[in-house]
Amino acid sequence: METISPPIMKQSYPYVSLLKQFYEGRSFVVSFNGSFLICSYGDEVKLVSSSDSSTLRSLSESSTSFTLSLDDRLLFTTTDNHKIQVWEVSSRKCIHSWKRYDGLVKSMACHSSSEFPNRATRMVYVWDVDSGFCPYFFRGHRGIVTFIKFQLN
């Protein structure tokens, strides 16, 4: 009887695109239409094309957390010096900025009417983007809040 030899498995695969040139393993967000992603790289926030991995734009801001508006027009960032900034993605201009929150912002989510940054404390703050004020905050969590998300329905 003949013995059947096991199939030869391919050992290496060519890569089409490599994200390592701008991604260090920290947080990132993909645009809602999937055309670009945003990630921290060193002391910059990079906007990178999903199709060819090219850097579309860079912001010279070190950010602890960021998120996009639902229409991909605005980028919300937080910094180590306790500042929240709103950037217009197309022009790379900061259109709103306000300061003074306590704690490190670990997560943000965007709603059509407000931004919800989430600090590494036991509270969630609701910020009015246009005025820069915090009209609501929710406290009473037993542990540190590390992630928030909106439910659309």
The percent of residues in the chain predicted with pLDDT above 90, rounded, is 0
pTM summary value: 0.65
Planar angle of CA 14, 15, 17, nearest 5 degrees? 160
List C-alpha distances in Å: 11 to 17, 19, 60, 63, 114: 19, 21, 40, 39, 50
The residue whose two tokens read 């790379």 is 92
Q: What is the pLDDT of residue 153?
A: 44
Mean pLDDT, rounded, for 41-62: 81
- Euclidean distance between CA atoms 113 and 44, whole angstroms: 27
Banded pLDDT at 20 (limits 50, 70, 90): low
Query: pLDDT tens digits for 86-129?
Result: 888 888 888 888 775 666 666 777 766 554 554 555 667 776 66
Domains and CATH numbers, the chain: 28-139 (2.130.10.10)
